[in-house]
Amino acid sequence: MAAFAARAPGLPIAVGYSGGADSTALLLACAQRWPGQVHAWHVHHGLQAAADAFEVHCRSVCARWDVPLAVAHVDARAQPGESPEAAARQHRHKAFDLLAQAQPALAAIQSVALAQHADDQVETLLLALSRGSGLPGLAAMPAQWRRGALHYYRPLLAVPGAALRHWLRQHGEAWIEDPSNADVRYTRNRIRSQLAPALAAVFPTYRATFARSAQHAAQAQQVLDEVAAADLAACGLPPRLADLQALTPARQGNALRHWLAHAHASVPSAAQLAELQSQIAACRTRGHAIRLKVGRGFVVREGGALNWLPASEPSQSSG
């Protein structure tokens, strides 16, 4: 908490509070550090019968600690082809945006603290490795970032989950256990229950060393983002085909990923990016059309440039 306070997060601060051990520890630590400046945000995902009991527990704890609690009810069921974890994360982000907008102007939240810890970071990195992810995935979860008007922080990324539970026991605080955390149908839970103990037996300091690798990946990705921004500034927005063709394949791919992610919130798969680059290389005549599915839309050729259109929008003439 001293290291977190040294970052001088803007106050008042909201803590994402599920009622579990991790968020309970973070909420209590923040309330002790900044009395009267801490709010709790609870997202009722509606995914299991115990969700109502979670909310009741959170209301009781916040009343005892004199911490204001705001609750957002969402339907976080995953769409076909979407992972339950990704769906819950997206709905949580939207819920936090709505909770921030609902704050009175005089008590406007400046920062949001989330309780992911060292074990969560390791699980995220291992999941990325299992999927063959590039640097964005290997960078795992960032320690801080900005979303709209809010600064987000994860101050516990260097703290093992067991240490948080030990700290809560020392303070005589209880928490709730989410039944879904024991469901081994989820890969993250299998990593936690089966792989993590094996890693600890062979590499006792794996949490710290894996965290360093994630930090190195994040730094390398920052450099690639800067290169991509410079290349896109030269190629224009939307990017011109002739300028993209002048880039090396590696820089072209980097620029295309950056453009799609930052301008259109779409992340191409490795196969989609390879096909797009192949079509760009072959696009030497005015009549060569490009229309490639990426995310929830299509990358299309419009004149001498590329554009991305949502699936519902028809593309313009490529002439």
Residue 184 has a pLDDT of 84
Q: What is the DSSP letter of 191?
A: I
* Inter-CA distances, 134 with 130, 224, 228, 236, Å: 11, 12, 15, 25
- Calculate the average pLDDT of the chain: 91
Task: Decide the pairing of beta strands 38-44 and 13-16.
Answer: parallel
Question: Could you tell me if 116 and 23 are in contact, meaning their C-beta atoms sit under 8 angstroms apart?
Answer: no
Q: Within 7-50, where are the H helices?
A: 21-33
Nearest-angstrom CA–CA distance, 246 and 140:
32
* Structure confidence by residue, pLDDT tens digits, 165-174: 999 999 999 9
- CB neighbours (10 Å) of residue 46? 13
Task: With a cut of 70, say whether residue 273 has pLDDT above it.
Answer: yes
Q: Within 155-248, where are the H helices?
A: 161-170, 187-190, 196-202, 206-235, 241-245
* Structure confidence by residue, pLDDT tens digits, 162-213: 999 999 999 999 999 988 788 888 889 999 999 999 999 999 999 999 999 9
Residue 317 has a pLDDT of 45
Between residues 85 and 308, which one has the greater pLDDT?
A: 308
Residue 319 has a pLDDT of 41
19's torsion region: left (phi>0), alpha (psi -120 to 50) or beta? Answer: left
Q: How confident is the model at residue 318 (pLDDT cuts 50, 70, 90)?
A: very low
Residue 186 has a pLDDT of 84
Q: What values do phi and psi take at 25, rounded to 5?
A: -60, -45
Residue 48 has a pLDDT of 72
150, HSE (Cβ side, Cα atoms, 13 Å): 22
Across 50-73, average pLDDT: 94
Residue 78 has a pLDDT of 63
Residue 89 has a pLDDT of 72
Paired tokens of 161:
């989950």
Nearest-angstrom CA–CA distance, 159 and 157:
6
Task: With a cut of 50, say whether residue 256 has pLDDT above it.
Answer: yes
